[in-house]
Amino acid sequence: MRDDPFAELPDSAALRAALARPFRGSPSGWGELAPVPWTPAGRFHPDAVDPGSRLDYHTGCAYPQDASSQLPVVLLDPQPGEVVIDCCAAPGSKATQIGLALGDDGLLVCLDASPPRRTVLAENLARQGVACALVTPLPLHRFAERSPGCADAVLVDAPCSGHEERSARQVTRMAQRQLALLADAARLAAPGGRLVYSTCTPYRAEDEGVILAFLAAHDGWAVERVVAPGCDSDLADLGAVRLWPHRQGSEPFFACRLRAPADGHRSSLAGSAPEPADDLRRWLPTTPLTAWRRGDLLFMASAACAACALPSEARGLIVGRGTPLRPDPWGAQALIERGAPAVAVSHADAIALWAGGGIDAAVDDGALLRTAEGGPLGVAERADGRTRLRLPSRMRRSGLA
């Protein structure tokens, strides 16, 4: 394949895909769901299905994510208890995937250069109930200076030229930017730590070229050869993987796993834990999560996230606010997913509730609600003898299926 990959790349549309969330139920009514070979929870779905029109999306049972985008986190292989850094985290698909893999034991630090994109990132993490994530405004280079060697695993899903044709000068400029990002991110890896570099572009200069330039400038680093089911090998026999629209039905993609040198010093991100609050015990008598209050808000997070010393714009999950506590929508869904008692309603009633309507079922004000299939809905409120779902108007959706 030449340096201009578009000359040989067929015009093939990528298949639409989503990540399934088994702890929140199974997607229903989506038509035939084919497995994504390289991601156990990944599913291809028919083009006609708009995830935003499905109740399953709003309960967090399924999260729309291109199949190729699911690959880097599979290679990163985050494990509970680890510290993981996502260096270009917004809008949050891969960050969510990492957070779900870590569960309630570990720390995910999310960075992004754009404040508006960090806002979207924080909401997507909350929507999916990720309690181990911290969104920091620290720029990557300052973070690397402050906390070198702090992470078990680092992800650099780098800005790239995408799927558009670019001039050689544009590609070269982008590759230089990517190499600088990769060099800063590498400083964060602990001795022997993992680093995954990925892009959604077919340009060799931004993929294999960046890896070769990085290895030439960083002694001791090595590519850890990977073979992912259904994926092609890279174009320089580095041990990385590639995806193509005409081969895998995904967007063009490149991903490479690197291993840091075993020698060096590991730093810690641990700081002081907040003063604990007991409010969470009302719903979760036994939980590894830490709960604390800040003003009117009750937060919950993994112990490592709660005590992380980094400045943050978002940390863990907002469970609710006020005294007595009134759960927030995403916080309520996270509680239900973790086993908090909830009243089941039919799928039809759930759709009516999400649209802002009322149902006749007599449910106590403040009770948690879920679908009969297990999808978490949120918090009930009683008004005019009917049960409604406590949702801000901006979150209400009609016409769901």
- Which residues are annotated as catalytic? 200
Number of H helices, E strands in the chain: 11, 22
Phi, psi of 241 (to 5 degrees): -130, 155
The C-alpha angle 238, 244, 246, rounded to 5 degrees, equals 140
Name which of 363, 336, 360, 335 is nearest 348 in CA terms: 360
* DSSP notation for 368-389: EEEETTS-EEEEEEEETTEEEE
Q: In this structure, are residues 61 and 21 in contact, taking their beta carbons and an 8 Å threshold?
A: yes
Which H helix or E strand runs over 298?
Answer: strand 297-301
End-to-end Cα separation, the chain, in angstroms: 44
List the strands of the sheet with 368-371, edge to edge. 343-345, 368-371, 376-383, 386-389
Residue 353 is given by DSSP the state: H
Secondary structure (3-state) at 105: coil
